Structure 1
Amino acid sequence: MNKYKQIEAAILAASNILITAHKSADGDSVGSSLGLLHFIEKLGKKATICHPDKAPDFLDFIDLSPIITMDQKPEKVTKAFIEADLIFCLDYNSTDRVGKEMQVLLEAATCTLIMIDHHQDPQGFTSLTISETSASSTAELIVELIEQSGNEAILDEKIGTPLYLGILTDTGSFRFNSVKPRTHEVLAKLLAADVKHHLIHELLNDTNTASRLRLQGFAMSQKMEILNENTVAIIPLTKEELATYDYKKGDTDSLANLALSIKGIKVAIMLSEGDGTVKLSFRSKGKDNPVNTLAAAHFEGGGHINAAGGMSELSMPETLDKIKSLIPEYFPV
């Protein structure tokens, strides 16, 4: 029996299924969670989705109501973990990626744990692991689950819409080098299931707010630094600057990619200050400029070769100094 058939069997045997994903929700973690939920429901079972925190506002166009978050309803999340006899770990491969509160619950769980993920270097904390680094996204692997378990006939618009969203966002609208021929085959299956791809693009990309655009304009014109012989761009935004532009979660998500689009830039780093921490977003071009190693070694993070995240408990000036001191080592010119 292949692993995907084993997962189907585990779903059918379970009474209380829990779906989890990583902290700082993105399109792939949200899309793969919702897609898996609707697939499980099509199999005649029920499931609960628990995430560490709320998804960014720009994903509000999709129905997020099935998602319970630890930061808003800790009692319900705790109860779901205690009652679960099957837990899915989607789009993450180490327990610290779910935040400290959920990490305690996850590591205390004694039931069956299943990982479905596409990041490098998975921890061995699950009973069954699907770890495919060649996949464009976890959402793509949920489509593989549906197909390889023999259930492709039940793939419909409700299941496919969040999965399309997950693939779309994790591939940068299909422009990252993670896109393979198989990715487009999967997309074709979703379109055949009547997924309205043009509406997803429109609802995702054409819903800017004036404050978001003003923040992005300020960041690019006033805050961006070009370093390392014009190959690295850094954009630091302080807590006060974010507040000035009425920052909402997700407003800065495209800034690193925007800086990376500048001719000659090979690496872009976005820093945003919160309460006692600085969040870092790394983007790069090419296999010769891996950002996941830098994020993992120095900023408690990780991710893909060309897209990673991390955090720092240093002040913004100290974090900036640290980043600048590491650039020549990791991205020599």
Structure 2
Amino acid sequence: MKIETIPLVDLLKEEKGSILIASHESPDADTLGSALALYIFLKKKGKNVKVGCKDKVPHFLDFLPNAEEVIRLPTNEVFDLGIVVDASGFYRVGTEVKAIRRVRIDHHIGGEFYGEFDYIDHSAPSTASLVYNLLKYWDKDSIDAEIAQCLYAGLATDTGFFRYSNTTAEVFEMAKELVQLGADPHRTFVMFSERESLNKMKLISKVLDTLVCYEDGLIAGITIFDRFFKETGTEYSDSEGLVNYPRSIEGVEVAFALIEKPEEGVFKVSLRSKGKVDVAKIAERLGGGGHKYASGCKIKTSDYQHALDMLLSAIKEELYSALSS
């Protein structure tokens, strides 16, 4: 990814006021790793900066450097500059953000645009890779081991620990550089993937009982009802990654997880593709978005069957459109 100029760097260099870096709700490693990396870097540059999220830092990300400094949003403070990372817009923060100017750093297709300082590249493997480019362009010597660790976590997880189709030679080169700067690949994998609780294992057991295949096995999905969290003593964040179970079935082209969120009156949807179907188009049909291989949306209904019917209808339309072409 050749970088000739990043206008956002000039904006940040000149910013004298308060800055908020916001992750999207239900944070993953790319949004939180990117936010924390930029936060640590800007602090080193003497900026008045905070990092925030609507939700508390989930267990699988609490190892990220400075994670304990993430503030809960909303806050009454009005920031001079708000930066949302790894999100198609500030609406993905899930709560109000008070900022005079707004900027977006992201690798999703489409979404909201706030002006010339937005740093968006949908060809990038992760938002962490964009933040890395931004920091290198500004001052590579200021990228320390903590910043590298945050960025590596975002890059590694958004490429499926270097297994997904967005894993390129450039990705490996970037990972190499981050490791040389102090990132720890083994610790990242262990802390992210091998610290599951017994309660989460019980949750997975319940969820797998809901697994159903449709359309002769081309579609597979699971449902995570709110009662499952209560019955197993788990939290919403424990549903992270469960969509990969139906995705792993041979012959499946589109996998989904339908997650009940009664406090919002919605069912949240996570979508995954093996490659032939662009699940971002499915999510867009339902008011969401994301990437070709991983996307999501929310269906505004408390009726499970209605949510499932809407989801399956959108999946089938895109599935057969893709297969026919």
- TM-score, normalised with respect to structure 2: 0.91
Q: 1:264 to 1:196 in 2, by over 3 A?
A: same
What's 1:261 paired with? 248
Equivalent position amino acid for 1:47 in 2: V
How big is the shift at 1:87?
2.3
Distance (whole Å) between structure 2 residues aligned to residue 66 and residue 3 of structure 1: 31
Match of 1:248 in 2: 235
Give the Cα–Cα distance (whole angstroms) in 1 for the partners of residues 110 and 160 of structure 2: 22
Q: Secondary structure at the match of 1:182?
A: helix
**After the TM superposition, which parts of structure 1 deviate over 4 Å for at least 4 consecutive aligned residues?**
none
Tell me the CA shift for residue 56 of structure 1: 2.1
Alignment partner for residue 197 of structure 1, among 185, 197, 201?
185
Greater alpha carbon shift after TM alignment, 267-276 vs 35-44: 35-44
Contact 2:146/2:182 (8 A) holds in 1 = no
Where do 5+ consecutive residues of structure 1 fail to align? Answer: none
Residues 183-332 of structure 1 aligned to structure 2 (within 5 Å): 183-220=171-208, 222-275=209-262, 276-286=265-275, 288-298=276-286, 300-314=287-301, 315-332=303-320
Distance 1:64 1:154 in 2: 19
Distance, in Å, in 2 between the alignment partners of 1:110 and 1:326 is 38
Amino acid at match of 2:15: A
How far off is 1:58 after superposition? 1.6
Shift of residue 328 of structure 1? 2.6
SS at 1:194 equivalent: coil
Task: Extract unaligned runs of 5+ from structure 2.
Answer: none
CA distance in 1, matches of 2:32, 2:105: 14
In structure 1, distance between residues paired with 2:319 and 2:128: 31
Q: Cα distance, 1:325 vs. partner?
A: 3.0
Matched, 1:67 2:70: yes
Distance 2:42 2:258 in 1: 38
1:35: how far off?
A: 0.4
Alignment correspondent of 2:141: 153
Deviates more, 1:227-236 or 1:88-97: 88-97
Percent same amino acid at aligned positions? 29
- CA gap of 1:100–1:46, structure 2 versus 1, over 3 A, is closer
Residues 22-31 or 174-183, more deviating: 174-183
- The counterpart of 1:46, out of the listed 37, 45, 48, is 48
Give the alignment's TM-score, normalised by structure 1. Answer: 0.89
Cα shift at 1:128: 0.8
SS in structure 1 at match of 2:20: strand
The one-letter amino acid paired with 1:7 is: L
Distance in 2 between the 1:39 and 1:277 partners? Answer: 37
Partner of residue 11, structure 1? 12
Q: 1:14-25 to 2 correspondence within 5 Å?
A: 14-15=15-16, 16-25=18-27
Retained in 1: the 8 A contact 2:11–2:117? no
Partner of 1:138: 127
Secondary structure of the equivalent of 2:67? Answer: coil
CA distance in structure 1 between the aligned counterparts of 2:246 and 2:27, rounded to whole angstroms: 22
1:226 CA displacement: 0.7
CA deviation vs aligned residue, 1:212-243 (integer Å, no higher than 9, x gap):
112112222x1100111111111012222332
**CA distance 1:87–1:100, shift in 2 (3 Å):** closer
Q: How far apart are 1:303 and its partner, in Å?
A: 0.4
| 1:127 positional shift | 4.2
CA–CA distance in structure 2, aligned partners of residues 290 and 51 of structure 1: 29
Partners of 1:232 and 1:266 within 8 A in 2 = yes
Structure 2 CA distance for aligned equivalents of residues 154 and 133 of structure 1: 26
Whether the 8 Å CA contact 2:81–2:100 is kept in 1: the answer is no
**1:100 Cα deviation (Å)?**
4.4
Structure 1 residues 34-60: Cα deviation after superposition (integer angstroms, max 9, x where no partner): 000111122232311122222322212
Larger mean Cα displacement after TM superposition, 29-38 or 190-199: 190-199
8 Å CA contact 1:26–1:55 kept in 2: the answer is no
Supply the distance in 2 between the matched residues of 1:130 and 1:78 (Cα, whole angstroms). 27
Whole-Å separation in 2 of the counterparts to 1:101 and 1:41: 24
SS at match of 1:280: strand
Superposition RMSD in Å: 1.8
Give the match's secondary structure for 2:295: strand
Aligned residues: 314
How many Å apart are 1:256 and its aligned residue? Answer: 1.0
CA distance in 1, matches of 2:281, 2:315: 12
Q: Which amino acid aligns with 2:224?
A: L
- The answer to whether the 8 A contact 2:267-2:298 is kept is yes
In 2, the alpha carbon distance for the partners of 1:219 and 1:146 equals 41
